[in-house]
Amino acid sequence: MHHTVCTKSFSTKGGSTSNLRRHLKSSHPTVLLAQVRTETEDDSPAAAGAVSTTSTSSAGPSTALAGMLTTSTTSSTPEAPTTIQGPVRPRRSQQQTSMSSFVTRPMDPLRQSKLDEALVRMIACDFQPFSIVEDKGFKEYSHLLDPSYSLPSRKTLSKTVMPRLYDKLRGDIMDKIKSASAVCLTTNCWTSLTLTSVTNEWGVGDKIVACVTDNASNIVSALKDHLHWDHIPCFAHMLNLIVKAALKEVQAILQTVKTIVEYFHRSTVASDKLKATQKQMGQETLRLKQDVATRWNSTYYMLKRFSEIKDPIISTLALTNASLPTLSPENGKFPEKFWTLLSHLRRSPLKFVTASKVILMTRGFQRIVTRYQRNPSSSVPVKKIVDSLMLEMTKRFGKVEHIEKLADDTCLDPRFKKQAFVNQQAAEETVKRVTAAAAAINPAQSEEENTSDPGATATSLRPSASTSKTSDAMMEMRAYLAEPLLSRTSDPLAWWRSCSPVYTLSEVMKARLCIVATSVPSERIFSKTGQIISERRLSPSKVRELVFF
């Protein structure tokens, strides 16, 4: 093989051009560079894919060498030299970075609007002040996330973005309420607009089927005597009253536990020793929890944590020589036994649960307490508290199956139907009541439409029409009750949506399964409002908009 630049010869045994490439790099670097630049500029598809060869080698020389090589084959018959060209591989040109690449492009207005609204949601949900956008750290954090995002001012957020988002969300909810045929309210005493003003504003005055509140006499009287709404007692409040009454039976033991917990919260030295003791015993480092008088579940958490680290507590108290009341061996087992009992009550859902579960849960709680009562190994403190729980449950939940709306709810829940009732008379009365409600709206054709006597009077046909509607409703109720029960984890509303073309009962269901079991969600809103007002000096209109999120 001859080099066309300096006419030197190189061996190409086996089709290798390594010797020639090394010669080019060492002796003719400028020639190779010029060839590479030519290849870069020539980026046409034809040039990139051109191949002209008579070689039988599987891999040809590179393009940089192709134009510099001529190959002669020695044989008995001399042949003209053949030029070999390999496929041209385009190389990426290295362009100089322009100034525009360093300039931050403005954000798309639609994305800017979405980020502004997300910022307002964060401020409302996390109780943040509007002035957070003026904080240096938040500005740096926002810029690092997206340099193109321009933080709005606090004035823009409060006067433009939040009202716009509030109107949008409010409109969406108004549309849903307009399409609803029945509405259940939950409320609490609050020094704001009257209930009638609120219901008129939202257009639900004629759709209210029940109102769920606590058992405070003033609000119960207002609902029944002035507003004439059906009142449903809040299940969570009743449960709270039952447990608080039972706790009085073991107040001395609870006070001893509370005194020990308060000691560790007050004393840093004792708290540090408790942590060290837990580590020495190979346990997870846990802090004791204090209870709150108004919430029984806080007592549950206090006793649970006390039981979990009881041994480290005893060891630490022995080291500190603190003059604290102690628990007797019998009473020392009480916290663990008691929080185990309370755990069954704590599992009751307290947020957006339908009222159809109330009867079932109360009966379940009573069975659990009865089991503890019959346990001969229960200690004296445990027996005292389970007896008190049973007494309070009987007092407050004894007639729960006779609360019409709760009973109707349970019957129309395809997971429970009549199976949730203990009192069979209450179950039969509920079936009759729901059947009558279905007959009142049953679109079945009356005999008046099917009679062959066009001269029959309307008066003579009314009993037949009424009988037809009632019989159709009774047949429909029997068919519904004969359906297999859904699993406890199934969605009853999804079942009714799929079966609504079959059952007219679905219209009755809409006015029942919308009822919730507790008023806790509304009270959380009031707590949120109070927190917003107490922490920030805001106008009523701003509070109204913030609470809405």
Residue 533 confidence (pLDDT): 47
The CA-based angle 290-292-293, given to 5 degrees, is 135
Mean pLDDT of the chain, nearest integer: 77
Residue 300 confidence (pLDDT): 85
Residue 13 confidence (pLDDT): 64
The pLDDT > 70 percentage for the chain reads 70
Please give the residue that has the higher pLDDT: either 49 or 521. Answer: 521
- Nearest of 309, 317, 374 to residue 336 by alpha carbon: 309
**Stretch among 97-106, 179-188, 231-240, 473-482 having the lowest mean pLDDT:** 97-106
Q: In the structure encoding, which two tokens stand for residue 377, read together?
A: 């190994």
Q: What is the mean predicted confidence (pLDDT) over 72-89?
A: 44
Rg (CA), the chain: 41
Distance between CA 344 and CA 366 in Å, rounded? Answer: 11
Number of CB atoms found within 10 A of residue 230's CB:
16
Q: What is the mean predicted confidence (pLDDT) over 84-97?
A: 52
Residue 353 confidence (pLDDT): 80
Q: CA 2 → CA 28, 67, 69, 72, 144, distances in Å?
A: 15, 12, 6, 8, 61
**pLDDT band at 251; cut points 50, 70, 90:** confident
First-to-last C-alpha distance (Å) of the chain: 82
Residue 339 confidence (pLDDT): 78
One-letter amino acid at 208 equals I
The residue assigned the tokens 């403190």 is 381
Statement: residue 145 has pLDDT above 70: yes
Q: What is the mean predicted confidence (pLDDT) over 211-235?
A: 86
3-state SS assignment for residue 221: helix
**pLDDT band at 470; cut points 50, 70, 90:** confident
Statement: residue 59 has pLDDT above 80: no
Distance between CA 233 and CA 239 in Å, rounded? Answer: 11
Q: In the structure encoding, which two tokens stand for residue 297, read together?
A: 């579940």
Distance between CA 265 and CA 289 in Å, rounded? Answer: 9
**Chain segment 392-414, per-residue pLDDT in tens:** 999 999 899 999 999 999 999 99
Residue 193 confidence (pLDDT): 52
Residue 423 confidence (pLDDT): 92
Q: In the structure encoding, which two tokens stand for residue 473, read together?
A: 């409703």
**Chain segment 513-539, per-residue pLDDT in tens:** 999 998 877 766 655 545 544 555 455
**pLDDT band at 483; cut points 50, 70, 90:** very high
Q: CA 300 → CA 134, 249, 295, 389, distances in Å?
A: 43, 15, 9, 15
Please give the residue that has the higher pLDDT: either 431 or 104. Answer: 431
Q: What is the mean predicted confidence (pLDDT) over 180-205?
A: 77
- Nearest of 48, 38, 32, 34 to residue 90 by alpha carbon: 48
Statement: residue 314 has pLDDT above 70: yes
Statement: residue 51 has pLDDT above 50: no
3-state SS assignment for residue 402: helix
The pLDDT > 90 percentage for the chain reads 34
Residues 6 or more apart in contact with residue 68 via CB below 8 angstroms: 3, 4, 5, 20, 24, 31, 35
The residue assigned the tokens 């729960």 is 400
**Chain segment 318-337, per-residue pLDDT in tens:** 888 888 888 887 777 778 78
Q: What is the mean predicted confidence (pLDDT) over 125-135?
A: 87
**pLDDT band at 195; cut points 50, 70, 90:** confident
The residue assigned the tokens 């003033």 is 218
Cβ atoms 130, 154 nearer than 8 A: yes
Q: What is the mean predicted confidence (pLDDT) over 478-502?
A: 92
Distance between CA 296 and CA 244 in Å, rounded? Answer: 6
Q: Which helix (H) or strand (E) holds 3?
A: strand 2-3
The residue assigned the tokens 């009314």 is 462
Number of CB atoms found within 10 A of residue 378's CB:
16
What pTM was estimated for this model as a whole? 0.67
Q: What is the mean predicted confidence (pLDDT) over 340-361?
A: 77
Residue 67 confidence (pLDDT): 45
Residues 6 or more apart in contact with residue 415 via CB below 8 angstroms: 356, 485, 486, 487, 488, 490, 492
Q: What is the mean predicted confidence (pLDDT) over 31-40?
A: 49
Q: What is the mean predicted confidence (pLDDT) over 363-382?
A: 86
Distance between CA 52 and CA 60 in Å, rounded? Answer: 10
Residue 321 confidence (pLDDT): 80
Residue 191 confidence (pLDDT): 42
Cβ atoms 148, 107 nearer than 8 A: yes
Statement: residue 156 has pLDDT above 90: yes
Statement: residue 159 has pLDDT above 60: yes
Number of CB atoms found within 10 A of residue 357's CB:
22
Distance between CA 48 and CA 50 in Å, rounded? Answer: 6
Query: 2-3 and 69-70: which strand pairing?
Result: antiparallel
**pLDDT band at 53; cut points 50, 70, 90:** very low
Number of CB atoms found within 10 A of residue 251's CB:
10
Strand order from edge to edge, sheet including 208-213: 183-186, 208-213, 231-233
Residue 94 confidence (pLDDT): 58
Residue 452 confidence (pLDDT): 44
Instruction: Establish how many alpha carbons lie within 13 A of residue 407's alpha carbon, considering only the half-sphere containing its beta carbon.
Output: 21
Statement: residue 454 has pLDDT above 50: no
Q: In the structure encoding, which two tokens stand for residue 118, read together?
A: 């997300």
Please give the residue that has the higher pLDDT: either 48 or 540. Answer: 540
